Amino acid sequence: MERERSKNFAHLNIGILTSGGDAPGMNAAIRAVTRPALHLGHRVLGVRRGYHGLWRGDIYEMNSRTVSEIIHKGGTFLMTARSKTFETPEGMQKAVNMCKVFEIDVVVAIGGDGTFNGALALSEAGIPVIAIPATIDNDIACTEYAIGYDTALNTAIEAIDKLRDTASSHERCSVVEVMGRHAGYLALHTGVTAGAEVVLIPEVDFDFQKDIVHTLIEDRNAGKNHYIVVVAEGATSALDLAKRIEEATGIESRATTLGYLQRGGSPSWRDRFMASLIGLKAVDCLDARRFNRAICMQNGDIVDLDLKEALTMTKTIDAGYVEYLDRLTM
């Protein structure tokens, strides 16, 4: 039987949360859902600390002013968390109960793969959802783009441009580790655009002698006096690799791990723009009561896909870019 509610059914009570690793542009996405939804007469409730806050009831009503002055801020003002409890049947039941207590009709979940899977589980427990892609790894298979990726790329290339200065002054090899535990998009696209001689990604095995030593020796023989090697954290450790390179080639090598630098910072134009378009698409789905959808970029367009179907999709990294390196840096 339809749940009685003191209010009319013309509007929705929309819960919104950010989950998993934060990403620059998450605030812009929260804003791009909240303002248009309020404008259509819906209520928006902020859920702090992701799914952890959902089952704990860390929930409060937001208004247009709540999302003022945030489009340019990195991180997520709703905070985020990884919640083991939510992954248990008891935790899920607590989350469903809390949605009923706060009369939440639908949850907008902003985050990466883990967030999308959590949203699907929540929908299967009876709470409608909309999933918005946001992760600096850009490794969500159903979408060409995830919010945060462009800002992280720019952070990485700005850092590597600086490292190149000192590497050239000291005639060194700078080995730079970027994020990407399981995916090499950050490493690959950073490497190509930062002028790296070598890029190592989790998706492609490498041969130390052929792919690294031989490449660097060839470059040195061609007159290079400094070298940039970009590695994804999921491929290898920059520290270990720098030691091996120095031992094998005699080229003085230094390691830098960019780490969490890539997760912060004011979102770039592209991330603010993408977050705004994606948020507006999410509100279109909400207002049309088109629930359990994943908002994605496909063929350059912002579309909404069935969430369950979206999570069956796969995408493979275009490792062909690695071949560009040989042509661009020899």
Q: Give the catalytic positions in this structure.
A: 137
Residues 81-110 interacting with ligand F6P (rule: CB under 6 A): 82
251 scored as a contact of ligand F6P (CB under 6 A) = no
Question: What is the x/- site pattern for ligand F6P, positions 6-25, by CB under 6 A?
Answer: ---------------x----
Least distance from ligand F6P to the Cβ atom of residue 235, Å: 12
From 83-91, 133-141, 188-196, 309-317, give the range in contact with ligand F6P by CB under 6 A: 133-141
Beta carbons of 80 and 134 less than 8 angstroms apart:
no
Beta bridge partners of 301: 298
From 173-181, 204-212, 271-279, 293-301, give the range in contact with ligand F6P by CB under 6 A: 173-181
Beta carbons of 291 and 285 less than 8 angstroms apart:
yes
Residue 146 C-beta-side C-alpha neighbours within 13 Å: 27
Residue whose CB is less far from ligand F6P, 112 or 133: 112
Beta carbons of 200 and 231 less than 8 angstroms apart:
yes
Residue 227 belongs to what H/E stretch? Answer: strand 227-232
Determine the size of the site formed for ligand F6P (CB under 6 A).
11
From 92-100, 129-137, 154-162, 209-217, give the range in contact with ligand F6P by CB under 6 A: 129-137
* CA 198 to each of CA 140, 152, 157, 221, 265: distance values in angstroms, whole numbers, following the listed order: 25, 20, 15, 16, 27
Q: Using the rule CB under 6 A, which residue among 107, 136, 156, 245 binds ligand F6P?
A: 136
Cα gap 246→322, rounded to integer Å: 23
From 67-75, 175-183, 283-291, 314-322, give the range in contact with ligand F6P by CB under 6 A: 175-183
180 scored as a contact of ligand F6P (CB under 6 A) = yes
Cα gap 294→290, rounded to integer Å: 11
Residue 308, number of CB atoms within 10 A of its CB: 12
133 scored as a contact of ligand F6P (CB under 6 A) = no
Query: Contact residues for ligand F6P (CB under 6 A)?
Result: 21, 82, 112, 135-137, 179-181, 233, 263
